[in-house]
Amino acid sequence: MILGPVHGPVATEDLPEHYPWPERDGRPWVRAMMSCTLDGAAAGADGLSGSISSDADGAVFSAVRRFADVVLVGGGTLAAEEYGPSKASEEDAARRAAAGQAPAPVIAVVSGSLKLPLDDDGFTASTVRPIVFTTADPDPDRLAAVRERCDVVQADGDTVDVGWVVERLAERGLWRIVCEGGPSLLRDAAAADLLDEADLTFAPLLVGSENTPRTDMLDDASRFELAHVLTEEGVLMTRYLRGGTR
């Protein structure tokens, strides 16, 4: 850690302590997890974030997830990045149980199309049954297939509002939320003033930005304060907190 509450080496097993979840009396705390290159790309030549990530970034990614209630992700990102099941070690499951949490984070997916991978070894094999948020009138065959493997929550209209999703998660007692994108979901969460924290990794790469989707500008920019910076092998892993939440 080169900036933050401590300076010097941080052991991998201690990383979750540097990404604490505050007690907020049930009010959702939403973390955005993002990676980018020196030229601002969110993905490499293959269009995936994995090609710009590193072992150090992966360790932080896992640490941020470990004691979350929910991993919130858009359906397109879940499919493209080939999300696997959400599970936890016995030690983590015991710690989660002591805190009143489920044995592992719940994967919550926002998808209007319901074009989701339902393979036996994919996200539906998670320890806790996933939740899928979709529209009022999705494709009936896809809806039936998803219902077999996931809890499905339908919005009233033909769009799924991320603020509504966060409210539904909080009603289930799931308020420690890691939002992993894609860019549109993160943009909408920022526009709705839902983000309390942004954990952003800067990869020491120049790859071009052709494969990074463009998103609409926000009417009002949200300001965040830098809480810490970790570095390993040229990668910068930053933690930002929304002004007034630190």
Indicate whether 103 and 217 sit together in one domain.
Answer: no
pLDDT of residue 244: 54
CATH number at residue 112: 3.40.430.10
pLDDT of residue 212: 85
Peptide bond just before 182 cis, omega within 30 deg: yes
The answer, as to whether pTM is greater than 0.85, is yes
Residues 89 and 145 in one domain: yes
pLDDT (mean) for 101-114: 98
For residue 39, give every residue at least 6 positions away whose Cβ sits within 8 Å of its Cβ, in sequence order, or none: 206, 207, 208, 209
Question: 3-42 as b/e, with b when 16 or more CB fall inside 10 Å?
Answer: eeeeeeebeeeebbebbebeeeeeebbbbbbbbbbeeebb
Same domain assignment for residues 90 and 164: yes
| Strand-pair partners of 156 | none
pLDDT tens per residue across span 149-177: 999 999 999 999 999 999 999 999 999 99
One domain for residues 215 and 241 = yes
The pLDDT of residue 245 is above 60 = no
Work out how many domains the chain is built from and give that number.
2
**pLDDT tens for residues 116-138?**
999 999 999 999 999 999 999 99
Mean pLDDT over each residue of the chain, to the nearest integer: 94
Tell whether 87 and 154 lie within a shared domain.
yes
pLDDT of res. 246: 40
Checking if the pLDDT of 211 tops 70, the result is yes
Q: How many residues does the chain have?
A: 246
Q: Which domain holds residue 64?
A: 1-69+175-246
Last residue of a domain, one of 157, 174, 191: 174
Residues 45 and 88 both lie in one domain: no
Q: Pick the range with the lowest mean pLDDT from 76-85, 98-107, 206-215.
A: 206-215
Give the tens place of pLDDT for each residue, 32-52.
999 999 999 999 998 888 899
